[in-house]
Amino acid sequence: MKKDDKQARAPTSRDVTSRAHNAALLDQIRRNNCLKLSIVSRDVAAYDYNIRFTVDDGDDMDWLGYFIGRSTSLLNLCISGEESGRDRDALMRGVNSNKSVETFELYNHLDFDVSLLDNFCANNPKLESLTLDGNGIGDSGVVTLMKSLANHPQLNNLSLGSNNIGRVGCVALSSMQSCTSGCGWVVPCLVQLDLSYNRIDDTGLEALASSLASSTTLKRLNLSSNTFITSSGLRSLSALLHSENCRLEDLHLESMPIGDDGADALAAGLTGNMSVKRLMFSSDVAGSITELGWSSFSRLLCDTSSINSIHKSNHTLNQIGSSPVPRGHDLRHYLKLNTSSNLHRTAQIKILMHNLDLDILSLSAFTT
C-alpha cells in the first residue's frame, strides 16, 4: 500500500492506543510537536512520564511506527522493555522511515535482529548517538552494524553494552578505521564508545586498541566487566594511550581482574599520556591491588629517580578508581596536585617536594 493511501485511512490516536496519555503523545507526534519519546513496556517506569508511551496489549505498533516514521520534529527516540518481537518489528518497520531522530536507544530486546536498523541508518542522515544495550546482538550483529554505520560520519556516541560481543566483534569494530581514504575513520567524530559487559578478550582488545589509536576525537571508553581481559590485554592499550592522536579523558575498567600486574600495565600505558584524567575501576578491583600496584601508579605520577624524571611524570591523571586510594599513600597527594590545569606548576611543586634544597634558578629550568 502506498504511503498516501495509508495516510488517507489513518486511524485516530485513540484507535491506536487505549491510554489517554499515550493518545495525547501520539497527537503531538502527528502534529510534529514531539521532540522526545520513550516507548516502554508496562514493567518499566524509569522514564519521564511526560514523554513515556507505555505499551499495552492491543496497542497498534504498526501505526505507532508509521507516525514516528513521518515525524520531522522527533529528535530523541528510546525503545525499552520486553514487548513481543512481532510488535517491536512492526514498530521498527515504521521507524525506519524517520529522518529526524538524532539520538536512538534500544534496550533489552534479546532476540533483536540488528539488520532491522539497516533502513533506519540508511534513511537518517542526522543520527549522532546510537545505544543498543542489552540486545544480545553478538559478533555477527556488530559486523552487520558496522556496515550500516559507514554512512554516518557524524556519529559521536556508540553504546553496545551487554551484547555478548567477543573477539570477532572487536575485529569488526576495528574496521571503523578505513585506509581507503588516507587511513581516516569511518566514524571520525566518535567521542564515546561503551563496550561494557561483553566477552572481549586480550586479542579482541589488541585489535580494537590498534584501531582506536587513529582517533582524534574519542574521549570516553568503557570496557567494564569484560572479565576475559588480562594484564596482557591491558598492555595493548598502550597503542591508544601512546598515540599522538589520543584525546581520551575517561577510561572505565570497573569489575575487571586488574590486580598488581594490571596496575603495572596501565601505569606503563599512561606514561607520557597527557589526556587521560580519570581511570575508573570499582572497589572490588581496588581491593585486588596491593602496595606493589599502587606504587606503580605512584611512580607514574611522580617518578622520584631524578629531577628530570619527576618533570616528565604524568601531571594529568587526577582520579584512579571510584573509591579512595589507600589512606596515607603519597599517591593521594599526587592525584590532588594533578587537578590543577597548570601542568608546569604541578611539575615544579612535585620537584620541590622531593628536592627541598633546590634553588629557584635551577627550578626555573623546568618551566616547559
Residue 53 covered by a domain: yes
- What are the grid coordinates assigned to 88, written together? 517491536
| Contact of 195 with 228, CB cutoff 8 Å | no
Assigned C-alpha cell, 346: 604541578
Helix (H) or strand (E) holding 177: strand 177-178
Three-point CA angle 103, 319, 234, nearest 5°: 75
Domain-embedded: residue 310: no
Q: What is the pLDDT of residues 9-19, one digit of tens each?
A: 779 999 999 89
Q: Domain range holding 107?
A: 1-126
Q: Torsion angle of alpha carbons 271, 275, 280, 286, nearest 10°?
A: 20
* Whole-number pLDDT of residue 2: 52
pLDDT given for residue 241 in this prediction: 97
pTM of the model: 0.91
pLDDT of the chain along its 368 residues, tens only? Answer: 455 555 557 799 999 998 999 999 999 999 999 999 999 887 766 668 789 999 988 899 999 999 999 999 999 999 987 665 678 888 999 999 999 999 999 998 877 888 888 888 888 888 999 999 999 999 999 999 988 887 788 899 999 999 999 999 999 888 765 544 444 456 788 999 999 999 999 999 999 999 999 999 999 999 999 999 999 999 999 999 999 999 999 999 999 989 999 999 999 999 999 999 999 988 777 778 889 999 999 999 999 999 999 999 999 999 998 777 777 789 999 999 999 999 999 998 999 898 877 766 666 666 55
The answer to whether position 295 is within a domain reads no
> Has residue 83 been placed in a domain?
yes
- With 0-12 / 13-18 / 19 or more C-beta atoms within 10 angstroms meaning exposed / middle / buried, residue 187 is buried
Cell numbers 607520557: residue: 272
The domain tally of the chain equals 1
Query: Taking the alpha carbons of 86, 104, 171, 205 in that order, is the dihedral positive or negative?
Result: negative
In a domain, 302, yes or no: no
List, in sequence order, every residue forming a beta bridge with 38; answer none if it has no partner: 52, 78
- 357 domain-assigned: no
Amino acid at 206: E
Residues near 41 by Cβ (< 8 Å), separated by ≥ 6? Answer: 54, 55, 80, 81, 82, 83
CB 252 within 8 A of CB 276: no
Grid cell 531522530 in the structure block, residue: 101
